[in-house]
Chain A
Amino acid sequence: MISYDIVIIGGGPAGLAAAVSARKAGIDKILILERDKELGGILNQCIHNGFGLHTFKEELTGPEYAGRFIDQVLEAKIEYRLNTMVMDISPDRVVTAMSRADGMYQIQAGAVILAMGCRERPRGALNIPGYRPAGIFSAGTAQRLVNIEGYMPGREVVILGSGDIGLIMARRMTLEGAIVKVVAELLPYSGGLKRNIVQCLNDFDIPLKLSHTVVDIEGKEHVTAVTIAEVGKDMKPIPGTEERYTCDTLLLSCGLIPENELSNKAGIKMSPVTSGPIVNESLETNIPGVFACGNVLHVHDLVDYVSEEAKKAGESAAKFVKAGGKDTEGGHVIEVKATDGARYTVPTTINVDNMDDLLTVRFRVGAVYKDSFVSVYFDDERVMHNKKRILAPGEMEQVILQKKKLAEKPGLKTITVKIEAE
């Protein structure tokens, strides 16, 4: 069996940044396994700009942003295998992979970094009634068809869901000459970034109907019309509010799901909130030496944060390998909780002895909050109270903890992140 110090599952933004940081941390034998025919992941089909404002202080397109990291991977001569599907990860970190070129084979990994990304929630999972014709796409599939393959799915479009990919595709389809008739969103707020609503919908006069959903799809062979209706507080359609739109395409942008099939098979514990692994301050899962970062861990809004998180995962994996494949034992472990509007945190535990001087705790809120406070409690003591003009589920939030502050409190058991009105 071949062996590597670190095997990284996925060559998208998370996997690339993790590889680069692990190399900088002094690890020699690193292997990236990528299922697609090129590195870069989903960024390759995100040809719009707006990437890299935090990381590179400039506006890049998706492929350009990926390119920056691919260049670093190539420069560092980090090994990667394309068109390679990972079939299994065992709890003792044996990775089973397969490709046309290499057949099926196993790799003993010193550490594994999970960076498989996420996928879109399909029509079936939404229980949208109606026919099941051609012309219904998840927004990301349509994005691939338009931006990579160079084909238009249709001319008259209705979009359900206001996730970022849906918003981006509303603009993209418009620029390609299609008419986007309406974007319907089940929730009373958009799940996408504010800037995307402005730049992709408002600037093109595309109506966004909040608290609306699709109640019927017509067309036996191909979509011919879609009916939307307003929903009440119970999320059920309100009779009499139906509006019918003739169209040939229905795009769905109704949420992203971390792709954790491999993690589940390996026995990694999952968070029911994020659908991603439960991790500690080192982004390590319950299986020693298996780390996670990027959208497989929790769905991010900006790729810049993915890169930042992945850098940390790469460093942690390097540390694990250098320690001879062992976690440091003992230490002061603190639980991190999300309550009162904060839906989850990553990480959920902090071993103070293992943390860096600064630790970013990322989280999302469950509803829109105006003029509210992000508060952090050390047990019952409030230690942080930051006013925010707006907090929205579509945008990821973070608080930064200092090691020295935590080290000052050896009896500290729980850190709680919550949203407070005052």
Chain B
Amino acid sequence: MYDVIIIGAGVTGSSVARELSRYNVSVCVLEKCEDVCEGTSKANSAIVHAGFDAAEGSLMAKMNVRGNEMMGQLAEDLDIPFRRNGAMVVCIHKEALDGLKTLYDRGIANGVKDLRILTREECLEMEPNLSDNVEGALYAPTSGIICPFILNIAMAENAAVNGVEFRFNTQVEDIQKDLQGIWHLRTNNGEYLAKYVVNAAGVYADVIHNMVSKNKIKITPRRGDYCLLDKEVGGHVDKTIFPQPTNLGKGVLVSPTIHGNLIVGPTAVDLENKEGNNTTADGINDLIAKANDHVKNLPMRKVITSFAGLRAHEANHEFIIREVEDAPHFIDCAGIESPGLTSAPAIGEMVGGMLKDMMKLTEKENWISKRKGILNPQNLSIEERNELIKKEPAYGQIICRCESISEGEILDAIHRPLGARSLDGVKRRTRAGMGRCQAGFCSPRVMEILHRELGLPLEEITKSGGRSNIVLERTKGTNGGEL
């Protein structure tokens, strides 16, 4: 039996796990996929929002602003790629200029620092590729860009190092409370017992909540299509460029990513299917049309991939973070849609604090607050790199040509806590396969490394767990010999 079970190893669950790992408490995270960061956390805009969007006084606003504040220190502690590049909400219709003031006032009320309204000239000076129709913008210098995968992975790794257990490929199918008040979680991998449960199940948070409460909630998967563009054009804009928001959200943004690509998206389409993260032709076309409203000469020929993510949308567009009324010792983190990534550190802090009080937790003496990321040899001088290769020759072998990722980095990704077990696992940790050839060259080589390091037959190596095997069987005439 665990003191706390967290359902879901996305960015919310992992943040709660890390916060709890400060205390003398046994924690287990149950994740239905084969890795952390498999749902909403892996497919979003990767923006650390400033906090002027959420309604004044809302929990969402509070979490956003607090999360943004915390991100700098967290990124330093956990070695997460992060930059405050600033954001602009661009107005292209004179009659809508008042809207910028409304956003500005809301931002000030929410506690966002350094907000400014820019004139058309100031806008164009900062971002020459803005639309010729730009009339003005709200500028938020505290907005940032982050690697969403590493944010999630780093918090989970750090939690694991501090004793939190993770169970992957483990899907919660039913939850019951026994007479002693102990939660029984039935999964495809047996039963798990806990005194407290945290529901961080993303688009499935309603399913999990509704297992224990009479007061049903509904989470609508709101799909967003994105296009990712080549690093060659990553400097098309420097700041994150938003349109003015609508009732469907913050609209289609154009932004550099922390790794130097350009991202365009998302659309917003409400679905019933919680697994419906397929892109659609309409979605991509819509996205391109909308992005061109605010940024000119978008080099859409330079798209290297498109993808879709599902936001966990709740009708009131508010985070639900509280102990469930009719299910004591069961805490929901539901409706965590944008700015969920930004808010994750704050949500972790809040839920960690709630459980600390409820369970009267004491702090560990030897909590490890820092995590060293996978070494990026591209930041080293030739001499330093030579030293490294002498010690660890695998750093001399480039596996992913597009992103210049060496075997050394891939080995680190596989062998560190909660290491990669699939192509996507390696990709999210190292960027191998994330470049312009989209893993055409490196996937057979990464498969070979996974096969060798994990002792798995090649047929069992997957793209991302489950039945996503890459190869089916040996060819005729081969007899199961080694690769």
Binding site for B on A (CB under 8 A): 35, 83, 85, 87, 96, 98-106, 119-120, 122-125, 127, 129-134, 138, 140-141, 144-146, 148-155, 176-177, 215-217, 220-222, 237, 248, 259, 261, 264
Verify B440–A35 contact, CB threshold 8 A.
no
Bound Cα distance A129, B304 (Å)? 13
Some 19 contacts from A to B, beta carbons below 8 A apart, are A98-B398, A100-B394, A100-B396, A100-B397, A101-B393, A103-B386, A104-B389, A106-B382, A124-B303, A125-B436, A129-B280, A129-B284, A129-B306, A141-B443, A151-B475, A152-B471, A152-B474, A152-B475, A217-B278
Bound Cα distance A185, B244 (Å)? 41
Bound Cα distance A150, B396 (Å)? 27
Chain B's nearest CB lies how many Å from the CB of A150?
Answer: 4
Verify A98–B440 contact, CB threshold 8 A.
no
* B residues near A237, Cβ cutoff 8 Å: 281
Taking A100-B393, A127-B281, A141-B443 as given, write out 15 further A-B residue pairs in contact, using a Cβ cutoff of 8 Å, ordered by the A residue number: A35-B401, A100-B396, A103-B385, A122-B436, A125-B305, A129-B278, A131-B278, A145-B470, A145-B471, A150-B478, A151-B458, A153-B471, A154-B472, A215-B281, A221-B465
In the complex, B279 has a CB within 8 A of chain A: yes
* A residues near B472, Cβ cutoff 8 Å: 151-155, 248
In the complex, B468 has a CB within 8 A of chain A: yes
Q: How many residues on the B side are at the interface (Cβ–Cβ under 8 A)? A: 59
Verify A99–B470 contact, CB threshold 8 A.
no
* A residues near B468, Cβ cutoff 8 Å: 133-134, 221-222
**Which residue of chain A lies nearest to B230 when distances are taken between CB atoms in the complex?**
A125
Chain B window 265-305, contacts with chain A (Cβ cutoff 8 Å), 1 for yes, 0 for no = 00000000001011111011000000000000000000111
Bound Cα distance A215, B458 (Å)? 31
Verify A104–B385 contact, CB threshold 8 A.
yes
In the complex, B210 has a CB within 8 A of chain A: no
Bound Cα distance A104, B467 (Å)? 40
Verify A99–B471 contact, CB threshold 8 A.
no
In the complex, B438 has a CB within 8 A of chain A: yes
Bound Cα distance A98, B382 (Å)? 10
| Cross-chain contact of B444 among A35, A85, A145, A261 (Cβ < 8 A) | A145
Bound Cα distance A149, B471 (Å)? 10
Chain B's nearest CB lies how many Å from the CB of A271?
Answer: 15
B residues 427-483 touching A (CB-CB < 8 Å): 436-441, 443-444, 448, 458-459, 462-476, 478, 481, 483
* B residues near A134, Cβ cutoff 8 Å: 462-464, 468-470
| Cross-chain contact of A130 among B279, B386, B398 (Cβ < 8 A) | B279
Given A119-B440, A151-B458, A222-B467, A103 and B281 touching (CB < 8 A)? no
Chain B's nearest CB lies how many Å from the CB of A269?
Answer: 15
* A residues near B304, Cβ cutoff 8 Å: 122, 124-125
Verify A103–B438 contact, CB threshold 8 A.
no
| Cross-chain contact of B279 among A129, A148, A177 (Cβ < 8 A) | A129
Verify B397–A220 contact, CB threshold 8 A.
no
Binding site for A on B (CB under 8 A): 227-228, 232, 275, 277-281, 283-284, 303-307, 382, 385-386, 389-390, 393-394, 396-398, 401-402, 404, 407, 436-441, 443-444, 448, 458-459, 462-476, 478, 481, 483
Bound Cα distance A103, B396 (Å)? 6
Verify B437–A85 contact, CB threshold 8 A.
no
Chain B's nearest CB lies how many Å from the CB of A76?
Answer: 28
Chain B's nearest CB lies how many Å from the CB of A226?
Answer: 13
| Cross-chain contact of A120 among B279, B397, B437, B443 (Cβ < 8 A) | B437
Bound Cα distance A149, B480 (Å)? 11
Given A104-B385, A237-B281, A149 and B393 touching (CB < 8 A)? no
Bound Cα distance A262, B358 (Å)? 59
Given A122-B304, A141-B444, A215-B281, A104 and B396 touching (CB < 8 A)? yes
Secondary structure at the A interface, as helix, strand, loop or mixed, is mixed
Chain A's nearest CB lies how many Å from the CB of B346?
Answer: 31
Given A145-B444, A222-B469, A103 and B389 touching (CB < 8 A)? yes
Chain B's nearest CB lies how many Å from the CB of A359?
Answer: 33
Q: Which 10 A-B pairs have the closest CB atoms?
A: A124-B305, A122-B438, A134-B463, A151-B471, A134-B468, A100-B396, A150-B478, A85-B398, A103-B386, A103-B389
Verify B396–A99 contact, CB threshold 8 A.
yes
Bound Cα distance A104, B470 (Å)? 33
Bound Cα distance A133, B422 (Å)? 13
* B residues near A106, Cβ cutoff 8 Å: 382
* B residues near A176, Cβ cutoff 8 Å: 475-476
* A residues near B439, Cβ cutoff 8 Å: 122
* B residues near A105, Cβ cutoff 8 Å: 382, 386
Given A132-B307, A222-B467, A104 and B438 touching (CB < 8 A)? no
Bound Cα distance A52, B232 (Å)? 37
Given A85-B398, A123-B438, A124-B305, A100 and B389 touching (CB < 8 A)? yes
Chain A's nearest CB lies how many Å from the CB of B184?
Answer: 29
Bound Cα distance A319, B385 (Å)? 36
Bound Cα distance A123, B307 (Å)? 11
Taking each of B303, B390, B470, which has the highest tally of chain A beta carbons within 10 Å of its own beta carbon? B470
Chain A's nearest CB lies how many Å from the CB of B260?
Answer: 13
* B residues near A149, Cβ cutoff 8 Å: 444, 448, 458, 471, 483
* A residues near B443, Cβ cutoff 8 Å: 141
Bound Cα distance A217, B277 (Å)? 12
Verify B481–A131 contact, CB threshold 8 A.
no
| Cross-chain contact of B475 among A133, A146, A215, A216 (Cβ < 8 A) | A146
* A residues near B478, Cβ cutoff 8 Å: 150
Verify B440–A96 contact, CB threshold 8 A.
no
| Cross-chain contact of B466 among A101, A140, A151, A221 (Cβ < 8 A) | A221
Bound Cα distance A146, B471 (Å)? 9
Bound Cα distance A96, B463 (Å)? 33
Bound Cα distance A96, B401 (Å)? 15
**Which residue of chain A lies nearest to B280 when distances are taken between CB atoms in the complex?**
A129
Given A125-B303, A129-B281, A141 and B440 touching (CB < 8 A)? yes
Chain A's nearest CB lies how many Å from the CB of B380?
Answer: 9
Given A129-B284, A131-B278, A215-B281, A144 and B438 touching (CB < 8 A)? no
Chain A's nearest CB lies how many Å from the CB of B336?
Answer: 22
Chain A's nearest CB lies how many Å from the CB of B283?
Answer: 7
